[in-house]
Amino acid sequence: MFPTLCAVLLSVLLPAAQASRPAPLVVSAAISLTDALREIERAYLSDGGGPVRFNFAGSNVLARQIANGAPADVLISADAAQMDYAERAGGIDASTRHALLRNRLAVVVPSGARLVMTGPRDLAKPSIRRIAIGDPAAVPAGRYARQYLETAGLWTPLQRKLLPLANVRAALAAVESGGVDAAIVYESDAAASTRVSLAFVVPDGEAPPIIYPAAILSRARNRGAAERFLAFLRGERARTIFERYRFRVEDDR
């Protein structure tokens, strides 16, 4: 009788306990934010914030998911174009859209590589045989890289060396594995990896501004939590973490 009574009580109490738990906030975020947002999530929880579930991918993939009705509460894109796409599809509440972060391009090489590079012209050296970038036809990091190389007059000369990949973290992984000699990624990616060496950071003005917009989805099921999380991202504790990963928090409040 006693085991049966316990089973009955558990069948009643467990669903009630599970129902009382807040639904996790679903955040679709550019894959370059993975390390920073994972750390911010821990800080958010320690400050009394609710559970967060992240969907990390290339911004183009996220925007397409949202346009097709994928469930989420917040979108953080690595560029305005993908946020525009989601907005045109009715996926975001435009009144909540704001610039959250800035980033910069960086050139990285495998850790321990004996390569000296100080600027874009060094990518044309014979010792640099393969250069990984995000696919310029699809992902923000690739478009930024292409614009940077075009401005430097190197897009056409470097064509045979370029290896377009699905997203910026794939480009970073190609360097980490030694599969390529260099990659054009974000400064934040270089800061997050212990298996690459930073060759140089592209100065402001030599590449297009890299701005990460954030917005709440128009069909967000957890709008209150979305507002609280975005406010936390703009606070001092999150700012400290973002800056350690070489992001810069926008002050457009």
Residue 4 pLDDT class (50, 70, 90 cuts): low
Question: Residue range 127-149: average pLDDT?
Answer: 97
Q: Extract the tokens encoding 110.
A: 């495998």
Residue 13 pLDDT class (50, 70, 90 cuts): very low
* pLDDT at position 151: 97
Question: Residue range 52-72: average pLDDT?
Answer: 97
* pLDDT at position 110: 96
Q: Are 76 and 29 in contact (CB under 8 A)?
A: yes
* pLDDT at position 223: 97
List domains and CATH numbers for the chain.
Answer: 21-102+211-249 (3.40.190.10), 105-201 (3.40.190.10)
* pLDDT at position 203: 96
Q: Are 90 and 112 in contact (CB under 8 A)?
A: no
Residue pLDDT, tens place only, 88-131: 999 999 999 999 999 999 999 999 888 889 999 999 999 999 99
Q: Give pTM, 2 decimals.
A: 0.90
* pLDDT at position 2: 43
* pLDDT at position 20: 54
Question: Residue range 26-53: average pLDDT?
Answer: 98
Residue pLDDT, tens place only, 154-188: 999 999 999 999 999 999 999 999 999 999 999 99
Q: Is the pLDDT of residue 67 over 70?
A: yes
Residue 138 pLDDT class (50, 70, 90 cuts): very high
* pLDDT at position 9: 44
CA distance 5 to 174: 57
* pLDDT at position 115: 86
Helices H, strands E: what count in the chain? 9, 11
DSSP state of 120: G
What does pLDDT average to over the chain? 93
Q: Is 158 exposed, middle or buried (0-12, 13-18, 19+ CB in 10 A)?
A: middle
Q: Are 195 and 111 in contact (CB under 8 A)?
A: yes
Percent of the chain with pLDDT over 70: 91
